[in-house]
Structure 1
Amino acid sequence: MAGKRRRFTAEFKARVALEALRERDSVQAIARRHELHPNQVSTWKRQLLEGLPEVFAGGAGRKLAKEHCKEQMKLSGLVARNMSGLNIVPVEASVASRSGHDGPPHDDASLVPPEAASGRPRRS
């Protein structure tokens, strides 16, 4: 079993995100230097960019931005819970890794679970 989950302060996240935003080094180099996964650095950078308008929003703007953020978090949680119960594996990820194709799928049929596509209920 892995060790305890690491927790980072807001200041540390901001420092790493700003470093990534400056683009003096690659995300991979920044992640290596701070012993993080590159996806974590990219996530913090994206969160920084998405949160910047809040900094300049006035009183009413801040309230709307906070409400929007809460709503986004709520929706993200709902989507994650609903998706986890569907057992959906995006085909484009596995196909792209084998074929060298990194574009979007040609249709949405690849996101439909096999039992739903066949119209037959899944047997346990």
Structure 2
Amino acid sequence: MAELVKKYDVHANQITDWKKQLLSGAPDVFGKGAQKAEASEETVEQLHAKIGRLTMENDFLERGLERIHGPRGKKW
């Protein structure tokens, strides 16, 4: 501990805190947590694709309404 404190010029409590964080979070980083991150990335990609499709459909329908009711649309 003393070597690390001297080498990196940090307080011993900071090194102890970092060690606790590493030990508590290591399984998530190197284990199942990494798999969860990959699954969430896949979900985000699927949602972005769905947003793109819905945007295209919305634009298509809006252009169709403009043809029927003119550029200002029908006022109810």
Q: TM-score, normalised by structure 2?
A: 0.40
Whichever of the two has the greater Rg, that structure is 2
Q: TM-score, normalised by structure 1?
A: 0.26
**Structure possessing the higher relative contact order (Cα contacts under 8 Å, 6 or more residues apart):** 1
